[in-house]
Amino acid sequence: MGRARGRLLAALGIIAAGALGASGSAESSAADTARTLSRAVAELSTWWGSTADRQAAEVVVTHRLNGSYDDCLAERGLPGTDWRGSVPRVGSSSPLGGVVWLVEPGFRPFSADLDVNATNAATEDRRNHPPSRPADQVRAEDDCLERTRGEGPSDDEVEELRLPAVVERLREAWTDALAAAYDDLGSPEDFVACVDEQQVPELRGRSLAEAARLAAEVERELGIGTGELTEEKRESFRAWEAPIAAAIETCVAPHHVAAVAALPGLVASFERAHADEIADAEEAWARRRAEAASLG
C-alpha cells in the first residue's frame, strides 16, 4: 500500500515539477520550503538523471539508431536526413514526482510538457512526411535503409542507454523509501476525495482520478497536437488546468511544510545507504554526456 500512496501523482497522470514558485501570506516560509525542495531535486538528480543527462541519452540513442543510415547516404553524395534533427526532447522527470505532499504552489499538473510534446510531434511529422525527392534518391534511401537494417541497437540496449539499469534500481528504491516515509499522511482515496469534494467545474462532474483522461480530451478540443501550439491554445489549456491545480494545493497544504521539512533527512539517509550505486549511476550519466558531446 505504501508504494501505491507514494505513486499517487503518477497514477493520476499529474506532473509534480518541484519548486516552481511561492505564494500565500507566509512568503518567507514558502521561500524556505521552495529552496529546500530545489536543493533536494538538484542533489537527487545527479543520479536520477537531470534534464541534461536524459537529453544526452536521447542524442546517443538517436545516433545509434540513425547515424549509419545518414553515413550511407553521405557516402553516395546524397543529402542525409541528419539524425540530429530527429533527436526528441525529453519531458519532465522529477525524483519527487510520486509524492503529492511535495508539490509547490504554482505547479502545473498537466501542462508542464505541452511545449516538449508539441516539438516532438512536429519532429515526428517531418520524419513521416519528407519532402518530394527525385526517384533515384528515393531508391538510394531505400537501399541504404536495407543495408543498415539490423546495425542499430536492440530494444534492450536502447532501454539501457536511456535509463541505465543502476538508475532504474535506484529510482525504485527511492520511490519505495518516499512512500514509506509519507505513508501516514493519507491514502490516495482520501486525497482524491478531498479534491472531488471541492466540485471544481473544470473537472466536469468527474473525479480527480479521471483527470489525466480529461486533460487529453481538453487537449483534443483545443486542437493541441494538431498544427502549431499557439499561445492561445497554451493559455486556454492552462486556464482549464489552473482551478484543478488550486484544488490539489488546497488538499496538500495541511501536510506540505512538514513533508518538505522531513525531506533533507530522507535524502541523506538514502544516499548513505546507496552510496556505491549512486556513484555508479553518476558515472553512467557521465558516459552518456561524454558520448553525446563527442557526436557534436
Q: In the predicted model, what is the mean pLDDT of the chain?
A: 88
Q: Which residue has the cell 515539477?
A: 17
Torsion from C-alpha of 13, 46, 28, 266, nearest 10 degrees: 80
Instruction: Reply yes or no on whether the pLDDT at 7 is more than 60.
Output: no
Structural domain spans, the chain = 2-160+169-294
User: Which pLDDT score, from 0 to 100, does residue 125 have?
Assistant: 86
Q: Which long-range contacts (CB under 8 A, 24 or more apart) does 123-126 make?
A: 123/85, 123/86, 123/88, 126/85
Averaged pLDDT, 150-168: 95
Helix, strand, coil percentages, rounded to 5, for the chain = 70, 0, 30
pLDDT digits (tens, 9 = 90+) for 193-234: 999 999 999 999 999 999 999 999 999 999 998 878 999 999
Cα 166 to Cα 45, 86, 94, 279, 284, distances in angstroms: 14, 27, 17, 10, 8
CA-CA distance, 59 to 208, in Å (whole number)?
36
Report pTM: 0.85
pLDDT digits (tens, 9 = 90+) for 82-122: 889 889 999 989 999 878 899 876 788 899 899 998 889 88
